[in-house]
Amino acid sequence: MGVAVPPPRPVAGQASAEYVALLAVVCAVVAGAAAVGSVPPIAAHLAGAVRHGICLVAGGICTPREARAAGLAPCLIEARAKRERLGGRVLVVKLGRGDSLLVQRRSDGSASVSFADDGSVGGSVGLGAQIGGNGASVRGGAGVHFTAGRTWEFPDSASAARFVRRWGRTETLTGELRGLWPGGAHPPRPDSTFKEGGLYSEFAAGIGLKPGAHAEARAELGIVPLGRRLDRDGRITWYHRVDGEIAGRLGLVLGALQRHDAGELVMETTFDGDRAVALRLRTAARVHAGFAPPGPATTLTDLAARLRGDAQEPGGAGRRLEAEVMLDLTDPANRRALRDVLHIAGARPADWDDRMRALADRLDADAAVDVRVLRVGRAESGLSAEASVGLGFGVGYERTEELRELERAWSIVPGGSWREREDCMPH
């Protein structure tokens, strides 16, 4: 007797023979357009049609409507950050002051604008000598860093751009000085505010090879032990960073990113009144431009294997791999697993591994996960001066601009399967 074979599992927008044939025709048209030098907008439109067709066949999330029906939040498709910082040093005391602007665009058309002010105070010591253009110097320091910021939400990018044109110049280092004058203008009430503080350490070394030739290396490490974000609806989110070793033990996805030297992980816990409602874990790693993002994945283990890659490589440039894991803390089992880890210091050392493993199991079994690959561009400029006339002092100014653009994204909801987020990609 023959064994009945069940029909293949249907996918979103299941492809019929006619649809596959249509895809073949579209592909042929795109190839012909490329050969004769088609007008770019037409070629882009046809390429988008092909990509959408592939999404339908593969069972991805193809439209914003499908994303909403699946309970998926919009994707962050672009982030532009600008930061300027002014610092000074007198003897061993070092002070710093900075301002930053962050504009984020999402796949549903909405956008947000954030202004942040930061300051630092610490100590800095150095040692060096130079004779005839030859010599070496080394400097190190540590101190306290703190930041306060505000965020505004907008229904579309055009509204966000108008807000930046109106208020962006008032949030620069010079603009804030003008705002202190009588009659100075200030932005309207924000939708959320955030504050954070922590420690930093820095190291710089330089060597003069000959007159006119100089080599320098710098490194800076920041630690944000605690931060708080307050939303207009009254929800409060506390966040802090944990080291990479702990992050590597919190489930398959976060552990896979540690293979790419993801480093620290940000842990956020959101409260509605006195009740914890959500835990979010975020981490990111630099990857090479040739990094192959995950294709179709049927299980979490399969996805983790794809994220790890075949061989461990040092962090690259030009691409950023991000993962965000969200656990619903209104579920008593999830809340209990997190509470046991947060109170791990009061437990027997023999129980620590079990508590970490229990939280990792809850993350693998019941968390919503987002994975994305972004292109990253960065530009830096600055001026600095040092002097020593009886008393050593110095001053420096730095300006940094960064652009992150989404390339691909995937999501899973509890109880669901991995699906590519074609709805998040620009059309």
pLDDT of residue 332: 94
pLDDT of residue 344: 74
Amino acid at 8: P
**What pairs with residue 134 in β-bridges?**
131
pLDDT digits (tens, 9 = 90+) for 395-405: 777 888 999 99
Percent of the chain with pLDDT strictly greater than 90? 19
Q: Which element (helix H / strand E) includes 281?
A: strand 275-287
Output the CA–CA distances (angstroms, integers) from residue 403 to 127, 266, 293, in the order listed.
Answer: 37, 21, 20
Residue among 285, 247, 309, 248 at smallest CA distance from 374: 285
Q: Is 70 exceeded by the pLDDT of residue 410?
A: yes
pLDDT of residue 187: 84
Tokens of 81: 């950050």
pLDDT digits (tens, 9 = 90+) for 182-222: 556 678 899 999 998 877 667 666 665 555 555 555 555 55
pLDDT of residue 337: 92
Output the CA–CA distances (angstroms, integers) from residue 78 to 19, 207, 324, 372, in the order listed.
Answer: 32, 39, 16, 12
Q: What is the pTM of this model?
A: 0.74
pLDDT digits (tens, 9 = 90+) for 225-252: 688 999 988 999 998 877 667 777 888 8
pLDDT digits (tens, 9 = 90+) for 246-274: 777 888 888 877 776 666 788 899 999 88
Collapse the DSSP code of 211 into the 3-class scheme (helix H, G, I; strand E, B; otherwise coil) and give the result.
Answer: coil
pLDDT digits (tens, 9 = 90+) for 307-346: 776 455 555 567 888 889 999 999 999 999 998 888 876 7
Tokens of 123: 């100590």
pLDDT tier, 152 (very low <50, low <70, confident <90, very high otherwise): very high
Tokens of 6: 């069940």
pLDDT digits (tens, 9 = 90+) for 62-90: 777 878 887 888 889 999 999 888 777 66
pLDDT of residue 216: 57
Gyration radius (Cα) of the chain, Å: 26
Per-residue buried b or exposed e for 131-161, using 16+ beta carbons within 10 Å of the residue's own CB: eeeeeebebebebebebebbbbbbeebeebe
User: Angle at the Cα of 106 (from 232 to 265), degrees rounded to 5?
Assistant: 75
**C-beta of residue 241 within 8 angstroms of C-beta of residue 227:** no
On average, the pLDDT of the chain sits at: 74
What residue segments make up the domains of the chain, in order of their start? 8-59
Q: Which three-class secondary structure string do you get for 142-203?
A: EEEEEEEEEEEEECCHHHHHHHHHHHHHHHCHHHHHHHCCCCCCCCCCCCEEEEEEEEEEEE
Q: Kindly report the backbone phi and psi dihedral angles of residue 153, in degrees, each rounded to the nearest multiple of 5, phi listed first.
A: -105, 145
Q: Which is more confidently placed, 408 or 204?
A: 408
